[in-house]
Amino acid sequence: MKIMTSYKIKIKDSHSAFSDTVMIYRQAVDFLIGVVLNEWTAVKENKMPLEKQRAIEYAVHRTKTNLYPKYDFDSKFGKFPSYLRRAAISEAIGKVSSYKSNLASWKENPQGKKPGLPVAGYIYPAMYKDNCFVCTGTYTARLKVWIRNTWDWVPVQLRKSDVDYIQSHCRNRKECIPTLRRRGRNWYLEFSFEEKVELTNKPIEQQIIIGVDLGINNACTCSAMRSDGTVIGRKILSLPREKDSLNHKLNKIKKAQQHGARKMPRLWGRAKGVNLDIAHKTAQFIADVAALYSADIIVFEHLDLTGKKKGSKKQKLHHWRAQAVQRIVADKAHRVGMRIRRICAWNTSALAFDGSGKVKRDEDNYSMCTFATGKRYHCDLSASYNIGARYFIREILKSLPAKARLGIEAKVPQCTKRTTCTLSTLFSLNAELAA
């Protein structure tokens, strides 16, 4: 699979020409969007993107064989670089195509507002190599920008630490063209890198998985398992210091709100920073556990966190960045060839892993629970067993022929309903397959 990553290099020279260049580029895209809307009937007949681009370029650009184009683009945007013009045409075609698709969907089911006409918005120009960007040294470059009412080259200094980081970490990756972007008051060149990795493709009997239960009290609970249900490792991450820091900052926000404060960007920024730190540390912990046990698959719950939060823990749920953790782990896992899988989250924590039924959580310590048999156990650890077991049950049944699968489900009826499967169900399934 292809993995795309991006890193930005800060431009040490602050120049007003960068803002002018971005403004001219956005105006050109707005002009071309109007052209594409007028010529959409002819554009959509071309199937290849390059043919669509050439059709619009023929309508707006003057050449020796095209002395009188239909639209006067060249007089409005004189000496516009050819690569930037083609990039602007592609951007305009993409925006109009999306608008037409959304409009057709709205006409079939007219709910909500009618889609508005497309505009350039906050887009930034791509600095094509040799045409708009030339690297003149390790930490120096030249950019072609709109300056003094013309397009000319401007020398820039690049931040040394950013360049050294890219040379150290992205040496074996394919470098794509950079984009001139603004972040706050500073300007950056954002480089994209492409790399190809081969994901693991072991048979189910040889796989080692990490069942991950993301929680609110504990950051995460990981269990390494084999297909026969053997648990070969367990790890729990709590992060008490970071969670105390987050609660402290949230209490500061609450106190400021009680005194009539409305917007508190600095206080909220600190709280979001701690929350993001928790997400990154949790993701790194999961990746380290997967590497420790040489795992092939990392299994998560499919968490649906949409809608209004209710109950006493609604503030914790609101700040819970479970999906961000899963996204970060997916990026880390794919880079080393691991796969990511998700299972239904229903009853993973509510059912005991030994098949004894529902558990009763402690009121004073929500991480501990009591099984129906009276056994005391860690609730998140039991949930991680069930998460891994559900993945194996699904993959094993999927690999069987229909007749064999129906026979197995008749003898192990718990397999028929995935939301009630536990680790004990996997044991029963493996015993029946061995018999």
Ramachandran region, residue 280 (left: φ > 0; alpha: ψ -120 to 50; beta: rest):
alpha
Residue 283 has pLDDT above 90, yes or no: yes
Q: Which whole number is the average pLDDT over 278-295? A: 97
pLDDT of 314: 80
The per-residue pLDDT for range 315-366, each reduced to its tens digit, is 888 889 999 999 999 999 999 999 999 999 999 999 999 999 999 999 888 8
pLDDT of 356: 92
pLDDT of 364: 84
Specify the amino acid at residue 71: Y
Mean pLDDT score of the chain:
92
pLDDT of 291: 96
pLDDT band at 286 (very low <50, low <70, confident <90, very high): very high
Query: For the stretch 329-359, what's the b/e string if a residue is b when 16 or more beta carbons lie within 10 angstroms of its beta carbon?
Result: bbebbbeeebbbeebebebbbbbbbbbeeeb
DSSP string over 228-256: TS-EEEEEEE--HHHHHHHHHHHHHHHHH
Please give the share of the chain, as a percent, with pLDDT higher than 90. 79
pLDDT of 91: 95
Question: 141 by DSSP, 3-state: which?
Answer: strand
Q: Which whole number is the average pLDDT over 163-181? A: 92
The per-residue pLDDT for range 373-426, each reduced to its tens digit, is 999 999 999 999 999 999 999 999 999 999 989 999 899 998 888 899 999 999
pLDDT of 178: 94
E strands, 238-374, are 297-302, 339-344, 360-361, 368-370
CA 7/CA 163 separation, integer angstroms: 10
pLDDT band at 145 (very low <50, low <70, confident <90, very high): very high
C-alpha 394 chain-centroid distance = 25
The per-residue pLDDT for range 236-265, each reduced to its tens digit, is 999 999 999 999 999 999 999 999 998 899
pLDDT of 277: 96
Instruction: Give residue limits of the domains in the chain.
Output: 1-196, 204-434
Q: Which whole number is the average pLDDT over 75-91? A: 92
Please give the share of the chain, as a percent, with pLDDT higher than 70. 100
Q: Which whole number is the average pLDDT over 199-225? A: 94
The per-residue pLDDT for range 5-64, each reduced to its tens digit, is 899 999 998 788 999 999 999 999 999 999 999 999 888 888 888 999 999 999 999 999
